[in-house]
Amino acid sequence: MRYILKGLDCANCAAKMENELRRIKGLETVTVNFATRSIEIPQELAAEAQAAVARVEPGVTLVPAQEQKEPEEQDTKESEKKEARRAVFFIGTAALLFAFGTLYNRQLHATPHAWAEYAVLITAYFLVGWPVLARAVSNLARRQFFDESFLMTVATLGALAIHELPEAVAVMLFYAVGDYLQDLAVDRSRRSIAALLDIRPDHANLKLGGEVKVVRPEEVPVGAEIIIKPGERVPLDGEVVEGTSFLDTSALTGEAVPRKVEPGEVVLAGMVNGQGLLTVKVTKNFAESAVSRILQLVEEAGTRKAPTERFITVFARYYTPVVVAAALAVALLPPLFLPGATFSEWLYRSLVLLVISCPCALVVSIPLGYFGGIGGASRQGILVKGANFLDALTALHTVAFDKTGTLTQGTFRVTKVVPYSGFTEEDLLAAAAAAEIYSTHPIALSIRQAYGRPVPDDQVHGYREVPGHGVAAEVQGKLVLVGNDRLLHREGILHEPDVCHMEGTSVYVAIDGTFAGYLIIADELKEDAAQAVARLKELGVQKVVILTGDEESAARRVAEAIGADAYFAELLPQDKVRKVEELMAAFPERRRQKLAFVGDGINDAPVIARADIGVAMGALGSDAAIEAADVVLMDDSPARLAAALEIARCTRRIVTENIVLALGIKAFFFALGILGLAGIWEAVFADVGVTVLAVLNATRTLHYRPRSLS
């Protein structure tokens, strides 16, 4: 069950909560999603989880996601605005006091009015420092040491003790400013993600007899008819029964060109209607609609962390105690062993090191960078189910494509009907259409469309699908088989050898054990299929192959047209899995190189699940394939895979920049601090300044535009 962490506003706190929650039996792998402020936990462990969260941050409460009502969300936004205004007031007042106190600090220090120095600067100190001090005391009471609040508190109290009042106030003031700017940057990213995900329709116009009633989308049953007015967002997935219009699909697919829809065509929740009035028959309830699926996938993506994120979480846990120990050594050892070294001088240096050492830049910016990458990909119609898969894309070595519906349009049409054994074309088409009555495969749809007449349900019995072969059904008392050549051999149907090697996609039909003939099916290559392969190779993908259950001739034709390196035809689902395993086993550096399989049908689900990165076509792909996939391409365009690879590399590059920036600058100033060449002011930049820079850099991932979609 999904819970919202109400009151969570600190990335470091989120990491601590995660560690605390993982100590609970049954939550060893739980992940706190800071970007959406949520966790997925069993309902029966909610009370125990709440207690664990309270131990880390008493003000945070767990609220079931479905109970997070819109008014509450509005109240939260208002509360956050008030908090922001209050923070600005305190920072502004403290800044004025700090400026006044610093300006007259030296003049007042040696006079009977020295108390004024303390009154002004200590007031400024507490105005901006009390939240940090309160958090440090609270954490100490719960035996939680070595966090940024502890470091800031020790550093500033130490500065006060050696009468460096302006420096103590400066640390707290600029820490507060940095914290405020960091929150602004994080909230900006959150708002960008929220705007991206603000495609949830708020109502549906339900058609009831001659009336239209406005209801919530969740209340509309499958089979009902809804009216979609011009300018409205489509609330549920369905089929157009009346009207013609153009739909803006960019929220789902990233595609800017409006899509024309007419009666009989599918529309998806989240699309925006243009000028026409549409009547749509609902085919899925709201929970299963395209918009719900997208929202769920993007929100859950933050729970699957990249190796870099996991490393930073562990690194921060050990890093802070180490630097505290180093700072303590700097304060105590030189005065004991170096002639002329004074305790006050080296204590000041150790306080500088404490300020420099805060790990906020890494703890905040790395998860934010990955979440921005996932959000940016979503804007382009690419749903990545986790930062780990975004990271895996950067190591892509081989891409294996399914053919039908992935590289080809999947909109088949029957171009030739060849009867045998005394059957007529009419007999052949009628039997094939009846046997395929329950199939959702594009080839089945094309056969029924070619027949052009309805098939009564009561004529068809015992329908079953034979994976990788075809279908079988009893039609008016006769056993009809429809499928590929393997189905004929499997069932022992005698047929002439020459029909096994037809050019194109052939569908064979047998009636009551007699070969009745075959149909030739035409399918067109997708416009961007060849471009997608070329772009993948430009980006460094070593090998592109086709794995298909279709005939060898059809596979060869498509492979030549798109420039694939190899193709493997007439594969059953288990054969595709075996072939993928063979391809992965042949990698020169298996641990560092990845294989992606791209497919759309229910038969592709096993191999999508087996590949290092499973990619599903989302708009027309089967639910099983989408569930098994790690990446979903919402507009069924192969070119989106190259775009996903670009976004993944951009995200990885920005994350790496932040790690180098944060650790490099901190190490540089750490060395200067030990040598006495860096003071509190430099330390503030090394901590607060670097954090703000890293967070701003991380937000670039949200707005990256891949070249592959230019």
Assess contact for 60 and 7: CB atoms under 8 A: yes
Q: Count of residues for the chain?
A: 710
Q: Tell me if residue 402 is catalytic.
A: yes
Strands, E assignment, 340-434: 382-384, 396-401, 413-419
Please check whether residue 600 is in contact with residue 402, taking contact to mean a CB–CB distance below 8 angstroms. yes
CB-based burial label for 475 (10 Å; 0-12, 13-18, 19+): buried
Residues 179, 402, 523, 687: which is the catalytic one? 402
Burial class, 296, CB count within 10 angstroms (exposed 0-12 / middle 13-18 / buried 19+): middle
Gap between the Cα atoms of 186 and 35, Å rounded: 8
In angstroms, the CA 193 to CA 372 distance is 8
SS3 40: strand
CA distance 123 to 247: 60
CA distances from 30 to 2, 155, 324, 504, 646 (A): 11, 34, 29, 50, 29
Asked if residues 402 and 598 have their Cβ atoms less than 8 Å apart, the reply is yes
Tokens of 104: 């007259």
Residue 706 has which token pair?
Answer: 């891949």
Tokens of 88: 């600005």
Taking the C-alpha atoms of residue 98 and residue 114, their distance in angstroms, rounded to an integer, is 15
Query: What are the phi and psi torsion angles at 679 (to 5°)?
Result: -105, -165
Rounded CA-CA distance 177/254 in Å is: 37
Token representation of residue 549: 């259950």
> Which one-letter amino acid corresponds to residue 184?
L
List CB contacts of 663: < 8 A, sequence separation 6 or more: 362
What distance lies between CA 346 and its chain's CA centroid?
A: 48
Q: Look at residues 383, 389, 387 and name the one whose alpha carbon lies nearest to residue 270.
A: 383
Structure-token pair, residue 603? 């038969």
> For residue 213, how far is the Cα from the chain centroid?
36
Instruction: Give me the DSSP letters along 342-369.
Output: -HHHHHHHHHHHHHHT--HHHHHHHHHH
Q: How far apart are CA 583 and CA 568, in angstroms?
A: 12
Q: 180: which 2 tokens?
A: 């405020």
Closest CA to 614 of 599, 635, 601: 599
Q: For residue 245, which phi and psi values (nearest 5 degrees)?
A: -160, 175
Q: What residues pair up with 420 in beta bridges, in sequence order?
A: none
Residue type, 456: P
| Rounded-to-integer distance, Cα 562 and Cα 525, Å | 9
Query: Exposed (0-12), middle (13-18) or buried (19+): which is 627, by Cβ within 10 Å?
Result: middle
Beta strands in 452-525 (DSSP E): 460-466, 470-475, 478-483, 505-511, 514-522
Alpha-carbon distances, residue 54 vs 50, 142, 303, 421 (angstroms): 6, 10, 21, 78
**Which pair of structure tokens corresponds to residue 667?**
């190490």
Element (DSSP H or E) covering residue 553: helix 552-562
Catalytic residues: 402
